[in-house]
Amino acid sequence: MASFDNLLYELNATTGILRLTINRPSKLNALSVATIQEIHQAMQQALADQTVRGIILTGSGEKSFVAGADIAELTAQDEITARRVAESGQETFRLIEDSRKPVIAAVNGFALGGGCELAMACHIRVASENARFGQPEVNLGLIPGYGGTQRLTQLIGKGKALELMLTTDMVKADEALRLGLVNHVVSLAELLPFTEQLLGRILTKAPLALGMVIECVNAYYDKDQNGYQTEASAFARSFGTADFREGSTAFLEKRPAQFTGK
């Protein structure tokens, strides 16, 4: 198992819930290139580990999920290296988005720039009441580079996404909920317990079917896929699983299903 300098990797062996905590509190958990690489490694490790069933992504402390990119590091980039940084970040965030294991962002405070992009790559977002979202890159003469222009538009629509990126206005948690940027808003004290409870409810369902739902929803946004065909294919595959046989039998026998992910 890999060790990490900028992340806490905490697996609850009983529930199968992995908590990944970005741990750079002195930098408000800003995303350095090394931190993104560690997130990528941690996700690969989690996806390969059969004992990991679901993932919560959060930040250390009470002020910030991820306050943005590491600006000092960005100033050292040129056009060539900046493209590599963007492509590396996009690859990591796609790994999260395409994960067949559910990933929930527990957003504790500022989620700005790369932090907002990271949260949007997760399947579900739960925000604390003090959370703030935004894409302030144009203040620096930059634009979002880790998929923010695409995912923000997908989540809240073209007009509002353009407004937030062009004005760099921050969105409070309640407004983020109204816009559909987050799924739930809770107190800071409730954030992790609520998120764990939500993920726990999800993990009572059939693991293969959960992954297929994620696959099909993501296909809607993939220009190279026909989402309806992806759904039909996944629907057919589900009939060949032990989980389908168990789920349907348990329903008819009026008992809880015991899924194995097979």
Q: Is the pLDDT of residue 198 over 90?
A: yes
Residues 142, 27 share a domain: yes
Q: Let me know if residue 2 belongs to a domain.
A: no
In a domain, 258, yes or no: no
**In this structure, is residue 154 part of a structural domain?**
yes
User: 161 in a domain, yes or no?
Assistant: yes
Residue 29: CB atoms within 10 A of its CB come to 28
* Residue 170 and residue 232 in one domain: no
**Residues 171-192 pLDDT 10s:** 999 999 999 999 999 999 999 9
Angle at 167 between CA 163 and CA 170, to 5 degrees: 90
In terms of residue numbers, what domain contains 155? 7-202
Longest Cα pair distance anywhere in the chain, in angstroms?
A: 63
Digit-coded pLDDT (tens) for 99-120: 999 999 999 999 999 999 999 9
Catalytic residues: 117, 137
Domain CATH for 67: 3.90.226.10
Phi-psi region of 257 (alpha: psi -120 to 50; beta: other; left: phi over 0): beta
Over residues 28-47, mean pLDDT: 96
Tell me the CB-side half-sphere exposure of residue 51, using CA atoms within 13 A. Answer: 7
Q: What does the pLDDT read at residue 251?
A: 95
Picking from 202, 221, 244, the residue at the C-terminal end of a domain is 202
